[in-house]
Structure 1
Amino acid sequence: MSRLRVGLLSNPTAALGTARRVGRQVGDLLRLAGISVVDLSGPSAHVARARAEEVRDTLTALVVVGGDGTVALGAEIVAGSPVRLGIVPAGSGNDLARALGLPLNDPEESTRILLHALSRPVVTVDAIEVVSTGEHALPHRSIALGNVNLGFDALVNARANSSQHSHTVRYKTAVLRELPAFKPFPYWIEVDGGPRQELDASIVTISNSGIFGGGMRIAPQARLDDSSLELITLEGIGRAELLRFFPRVFRGTHTSVPGFAIRPVREVTIGLRHGRALRAYSDGEARTLLPLTARILPGAVRLLADLTPEDAS
């Protein structure tokens, strides 16, 4: 193992600074196991990305320590390359880690999994490519592994990100604060190159992992390795029904709600017919304004983990 070189990228702000401490611990454990570790962490995502991209081709793996946004950053850096992505959950939501069945708040077990995976065959997962498609949009491309949120869930994500409470508390609080003034968005949508359709929906999510919002299994049958995305929509419900919808997602009883639908897709282009501007969120981070195109990138990311059907669904 002494020939293996691993990059370590910790988010200094994730979980109120906990990720930085966890990153140091993981780095020490990897070195004790004989791994050559180079710390690529920086004061910002921009700096960390630049450091990682500079040495990426010399790495066996890139290990990211943080939440879903940090995982997405790591995926952008390694997507399409031979470098494998290792994940140590140390954020607030950790939804991608939940989808993979990775241990939360356990740096020692996380490191053991990384070391075990380094000696195992390569596992690949799909990614979501998100591209700005507006007439006057600046070129913008990002990668997500979990979800792209485009409706009420995006507004909640934006508000929750500004809170200092725990993820569960701030997500619930954000739902309650966004709800009184919310109205369904008037979308247009093109699926897999088909004709343009119109829909007025409260929730539109493009999902790869099936989990968002700190453990809500919005698409219970979603898999990370099936070369398909799930287009999730919720139409035709009022504010009171929308408030009752989210607890049902935690219980797994939401799929029978009238107006809720899931369908497999490979590419979706979506925008608003009129009204307010809407910014998409993916894996917890603000992305481009609508309109945008999201498409599947099959097997784009090599992972340092064992992917079983139970983990991927």
Structure 2
Amino acid sequence: MNNAFPEDSADCAPPPRTIALVGKYHSPEIAESIRLLANYLHERGMTVLIEEETACNVISHLELGSWASGSFTWLGAHADIAVVVGGDGTMLNAARQLARYRVPLVGVNQGRLGFMTDIARSDMLTCMDDLLDGKFVPETRMLLDADVVRGERSVVSNLALNDVVVDKGAIGRMIELELFIDGEFIYHLRSDGLIVATSTGSTAYALSANGPILHPQVSAIALVPLCPHALTNRPILVGDRNEIEIRIVHATDSRAHFDGQVTVDLRNEDSVRIRRSEYSICLLHPPGHSYFAMLRQKLHWSERPKEH
């Protein structure tokens, strides 16, 4: 296994021939978008594959007999590119599933904010022309590797594109934890929890907790306390080569969350160890994409107050 981190210039494939489609489940609107995409790409001479749970959940809305379907593992082995239709949650799941196969991702937004799914449904087919002509711009996003260690044994391992969150769980009491970076003790924290976020995750939960927004080109990890008891515990940034350890000192119902989609119960004296993953994700953006323009739009920057 190669432990060297990938460079920030993504090694994305030339114009694709085989395209996987992944969609949010149980949504007639997304089923219709998948149908439109599948037919359009087929007419352009592409081989179209559909992720198996997507196919299973939209089969009552469209005819899938013409398209092969399979697991994420199967898609990873065969697809040149995956087009993800939905919101950021759908993209996060696809990214974790496909990261080890280095399949570039394209996002069509049919969710709410859509920080990572930057193609509007109304522009979907036009953007597919640019994609097939090789005009999309690649951008590499780092992921985190996280291990829950109990005693000397790793009991759970997961990837995260957005963040790893250790929190108090369902019980309304603060937890006590200790933070170490590269083995060095940093502080003892009493709070509702701690967010460990990538630049991608800096506009997710960490943003709501007053964490900084990190441009995707910034190779750093944000540590953002959740409602700390000591107001001097502020968000800090560390390098992407630093290893982070969160030790549970005392908690009643603490948990670790990976991208808000996978949850693991923690015990006192458990450790959550986090580092940059050897895997990264290549996001493909349409021509003219601007990260700052996206922030202005999604976060409503520069808007004038409404007149009453």
Instruction: Give the TM-score band, short-chain normalised.
Output: 0.5 to 0.7
Q: Structure 2 matches for 1:281-296, cutoff 5 A?
A: 281-290=257-266, 291-296=271-276
Which residue is 1:190 aligned to?
180
Q: Structure 2 matches for 1:292-307, cutoff 5 A?
A: 292-297=272-277, 300-305=280-285
**Alignment partner of 1:261 out of 235, 247, 253:** 235
Larger Rg: 2
Q: Structure 2 matches for 1:21-60, cutoff 5 A?
A: 21-42=32-53, 51-60=71-80
Q: Is the 8 A contact 1:3 1:36 kept in 2?
A: no
Asked if residue 128 in structure 1 is aligned to residue 144 in structure 2, the reply is yes
Counterpart AA for 1:151: D
Scaled by the length of structure 1, the TM-score of the pair is 0.67
Task: After TM superposition, give the deviation of residue 55 of structure 1 in Å.
Answer: 3.7
Scaled by the length of structure 2, the TM-score of the pair is 0.68
CA distance in 2, matches of 1:109, 1:214: 30
CA distance in 2, matches of 1:185, 1:18: 42
Deviations along 1:31-81, one digit per CA (max 9) or x if unpaired, are 344432111131789xxx961212422211122223434322211232243
Asked if residue 201 in structure 1 is aligned to residue 217 in structure 2, the reply is no
CA distance in 2, matches of 1:137, 1:111: 49
Deviations along 1:229-248, one digit per CA (max 9) or x if unpaired, are 1111145449xxxxxxxxxx
- Is the partner of 2:273 in helix, strand or coil? strand
Gaps of 5+ in 1: 156-177, 239-256
Which residue is 2:163 aligned to?
147
Report how many aligned residue pairs link the two structures. Answer: 258
Which residue is 1:109 aligned to?
123
CA distance in 2, matches of 1:135, 1:113: 51
CA distance in 1, matches of 2:38, 2:209: 32
Task: After TM superposition, give the deviation of residue 193 of structure 1 in Å.
Answer: 3.2
Task: After TM superposition, give the deviation of residue 18 of structure 1 in Å.
Answer: 4.4
Task: After TM superposition, give the deviation of residue 138 of structure 1 in Å.
Answer: 6.2
CA distance in 1, matches of 2:126, 2:31: 19
Q: Is the 8 A contact 1:132 1:138 kept in 2?
A: yes
CA distance in 2, matches of 1:212, 1:2: 31
Gaps of 5+ in 2: 1-13, 58-68, 296-308
CA distance in 1, matches of 2:53, 2:117: 28
Counterpart AA for 1:184: M
Higher relative contact order (CA 8 A, sep 6+): 1
Report the aligned-residue RMSD: 3.7
Q: Is the 8 A contact 2:209 2:225 kept in 1?
A: no
CA distance in 1, matches of 2:152, 2:49: 40
Cα 1:182–1:218, aligned 2, differ >3 Å: closer, same or farther? Answer: same
Which residue is 2:249 aligned to?
273
Q: Is the 8 A contact 1:22 1:90 kept in 2?
A: no
Aligned identity (percent) is 17
The structure with the largest helix share of the pair is: 1
